[in-house]
Structure 1
Amino acid sequence: MGLFINVLIDILGSIGWLLVLMVAIVFAFAHALLILLRTSTSNPSGATNPFTSISSSLMTLWAFLGGDFAAIDGWDAGSSLDLMRVIFSFVTTIVLLNVLIAILNNVFTASQDRAQKTWIRNRAEFIAIVEEFFLTAEQRQNGNWFPSIVFYEIDAEKFEQYNESVKMRHAWNKAEIEVGDETEKEV
């Protein structure tokens, strides 16, 4: 349950700007359709006009996000309505929702990695607490319980990634030292 909550918090934190952008786009299109269709006399089949107020216009646009364009199917407002439908579909459905899916995937993967590292660290801390407070000195010296050599298996790709990160950190620290030495020489 804790992993799910952490992933959910990470997702909400990273997609906030995208949701604000999506709400702004929906509001802009709702307002544009309100202006375009609120006084239209070509309302099909005598149905009520959903574009008479901003709230009903927003609800209609919410349905548009799911691909339900039934509210404007019978309108004869010219090419401007068709152009707005195409632009809205492209911007929201194709671009923004696919960006949202990609962001969710990246955040979920990063959260999974961080959760695994946190779980390992918490487990190590728990073992250290157990060893420190619940074992006697004789039990801590037992070679069967605490071997002098510990084997750690790692995937070759992860080893290469770790090796590269160590090299990058070492190069960074070396650059800092060199800059520091040059500064000392100049002074």
Structure 2
Amino acid sequence: MFCFLIAAAIKGLSNYTQNILLIITIILGVLHFTFEIRQLIYSPLSWITDIWNYFDMGAILFSVTTSIVWLQSSAMPVWAVTISILLLEFKFTTFFRAIEFGGTHWAMIIGVIQNSLSFFVIIGFILFAFAHSLYILLRPTNDNLNNSQELNTNMFANLDTALLAVYMMLTGNSFSVSNWSLAENITLTILIILFSFFTTIYLMNLFIGLLSNFIGETNKKELFLLQRAKILSEIELFYMLPYQRRKNNWFPEFIFSLDKLYEVVSKIKNNNWDDDIEKPLLPSTLLKIIQFYDKTNYFDYTILG
């Protein structure tokens, strides 16, 4: 990542230095691409359903492809470099997933996205419906097809720009419909009122409420620990050599969250186990490992052993 950023951001580099940096980017990118392919082969469904893999693959493919084109043409493809830098720097921020400093918030962000995916799909269909309707209503007539000014200023001349115009309306920017008089176009007025009520007012406030409920009900620490365990398992499976995977001091067979374990032991000790599942039997070895103390009195492990 840093090789590509240096080559793209620093002006005045010699062609030799720039080419070396781009070649290193290609080599490292191909290496990371093989890791992604291994993950895909190992568990295709898990790879497809994990949103992080798309960011990783996009950052790898864009940077490698851009580096190859750059080397061949000796000219920097500005648009490709722009997207590559965006993806690479975004990928850099995802490294904080594995540390508690930013991992809890990353876990919460991804949890919100996963739980709101169906809501986003519904909003997408609604936006497309309004964009298609406005495109049919406001597209240039046959008399105006040769009018270049009309085509340049009317965002509803094409369906793709109509989608962009409707998205801008969702954010509160109604400039795209300012060229038409609402008093003379009743259909347009009705569509704008319906759009502003169902999307900007109702759906957006509903979405904010759903987010608030999810954040309030989510155990961020638990999501972070699950995320960290998943990252460790990926490192063990796809980035380590066979002899490294067998090192128990690197990758233990079990990973426990002590906070949750303390809570379970405390419930069992105080006879407060009221969960739906049967009360577990904790081995004395595990209890000795965590060195559980009940405030001032030492807890007798043999009772639960």
TM range (shorter): 0.5 to 0.7
Q: State yes or no: 1:132 paired with 2:239.
A: no
The answer on 1:109 being equivalent to 2:205 is: no
Is the contact made by 1:50 and 1:57 (CA closer than 8 Å) also made in structure 2? Answer: yes
Instruction: Indicate which of 126, 136, 140 corresponds to 1:35.
Output: 136
Pick from 69, 72, 79 the counterpart of residue 174 of structure 2.
69
Map 1:10-21; keep pairs closer than 5 Å: 10-21=111-122
Q: 1:146 aligned to 2:298?
A: yes
Q: Which residue of structure 2 aligns with residue 100 of structure 1?
A: 207
How big is the shift at 1:123?
A: 5.7
Q: Does residue 8 of structure 1 match 2:115?
A: no
Residue 74 of structure 1, CA deviation: 2.2
Deviation (angstroms), 1:75 = 0.9
How many matched pairs? Answer: 141
- Unpaired runs of at least 5, structure 1: 149-187
CA distance, structure 1, for counterparts of residue 221 and residue 158 of structure 2 = 47
- Matched-pair contact (CA < 8 Å) for 2:107–2:220: no
Larger Rg computed on CA atoms: 1
TM-score relative to the length of structure 1: 0.61
Identity %: 24
Q: Does 1:120 align with 2:259?
A: yes
* Equivalent of residue 158 in structure 2, options 45, 53, 69: 53
Which of 192, 195, 217 in structure 2 is aligned with 1:88? 195
Question: What is the Cα deviation at residue 8 of structure 1?
Answer: 2.0
2:123, 2:153 → 1: CA distance? 27
- Aligned amino acid, residue 260 of structure 2: R
DSSP 3-state at the match of 2:298 = coil
Provide the TM-score with structure 2 as the length reference. Answer: 0.39
Between the aligned partners of 2:105 and 2:220, the Cα distance in structure 1 is 13
Structure 2 distance, partners of 1:29, 1:17, is 19
What's the CA shift for 1:105?
A: 0.4
Q: Could you list the runs of 4 or more consecutive aligned residues of structure 1 that deviate by over 6 angstroms after TM superposition?
A: none
Cα pair 1:7 1:107 within 8 Å, conserved: no
Question: Which residue number in structure 1 is paired with residue 97 of structure 2?
Answer: none
Q: Name the structure 2 match of 1:162.
A: none
Q: Which moved more, 1:72-81 or 1:57-66?
A: 72-81
Instruction: Determine the C-alpha separation between the residues in 2 that align with 1:16 and 1:105.
Output: 16
